[in-house]
Amino acid sequence: MAAAAWPGATCASSPNSLLLSRSPPHAAFALAPSPASSMRRRLLLGAGAPAVAALAAAAPPPVLQDGAVTLLITAGAYSLVRVFDALTERRLIEKSLSRKIVHVLSGVLFMSSWPLFSNSTEARYFAALVPFLNSIRLLTYGLRIYTDEALVKSVTREGNPEELLRGPLYYVLVLLFSVLVFWRDSPIGIISLSMMSGGDGFADIVGRRYGSVKLPFNENKSWVGSISMFISGFLLSAIMMFYFSSLGYIHVSWEEAFRNLALVALAATLVESIPVTEVVDDNISVPLATMLVAFLLFGSNAQ
């Protein structure tokens, strides 16, 4: 009687019978499968593939995803400056330190946001809108078309609006260039932005505070600042490369990569220490030198 009441036990070729054969014979009679459980079973057995496809089709198109991420990052960049401006106004942080923290975080957070964009070919252009809009903003206030005292105080050395047209503008233009030319699938852009934001940023922060011993060929730079530039630039570049490689955007041979990163960091540090700031801003010389050396060292692995 039990065998007759449990037909699944005699049909081993059916996937459903295999699932049922592991249950006690009386289970077929104890509970009748609900519509929800039947749906779950069909999904587990592969019959739910059309439903999965329907869910994928219902996902927002890339243009909406990229547009939303662009708005989010733009708002975040604006908020970052405002937060540190408020901290400076309340004398909770020194102005020079606030400016360099913004310098470091702007590049690092912008790079970190790249995986939020879709895999469409247009994604990089949406990402490029963030530094492009910031460059328009800097031009507007730097040319005194409009005024924004909070912005000027946060990102300039002496509170002069014309300063916005130099270092800060060069910074966002390098961000723009890196997105359009390299994007997230090239270590060259990742390393150059890491050196510019993290390396150069920490060199100034540490050098101002502890840099009493100056370089023999540049009295405006210190040994401790240059050492900080090398270490922080190397470490941040390695961290960001690991970040993007773990997400599958780049493939890294780490033994070779560490050696190459050390050479790139050394080249960037030497360029940053040369007394040519009056001629070429660090926000131009450091990333350009980094891009050149990284291209030569990483070669065909750059893409």
Q: What are phi and psi of 143, to 5 degrees?
A: -85, 5
Structure tokens at 217: 């060929």
Structure tokens at 64: 């909406």
Tell me the β-bridge partners of 214. 222
CA angle 137, 157, 131 (to 5 degrees): 25
Does the structure show a pLDDT above 50 at 296?
Answer: yes
Residue 232 contacts by C-beta under 8 Å, 6 or more apart in sequence? 198, 199, 201, 202, 203
pLDDT of residue 243: 97
Please state the pTM of the whole predicted model. 0.76
> Between 294 and 18, where is the model more confident?
294
Structure tokens at 77: 């960049």
Distance CA 99, CA 101 (A): 6
Distance CA 210, CA 206 (A): 6
Does the structure show a pLDDT above 50 at 25?
Answer: no
Does the structure show a pLDDT above 70 at 121?
Answer: yes
Residue 16, CA distances (Å) to 9, 23, 38 in order: 11, 11, 11
Mean pLDDT lowest for which of 49-58, 83-92, 236-245? 49-58
Q: How confident is the model at residue 280 (pLDDT cuts 50, 70, 90)?
A: confident
CB 273 within 8 A of CB 204: no
Does the structure show a pLDDT above 70 at 67?
Answer: yes
Average pLDDT for residues 251-279, to the nearest whole number? Answer: 91
* pLDDT, tens digit (0-9, with 9 covering 90-100), for 190-222: 999 999 999 999 998 999 889 889 999 988 899
Does the structure show a pLDDT above 60 at 73?
Answer: yes
Would you kindly state where each structural domain of the chain is located, as residue ranges? 182-303
pLDDT of residue 70: 97
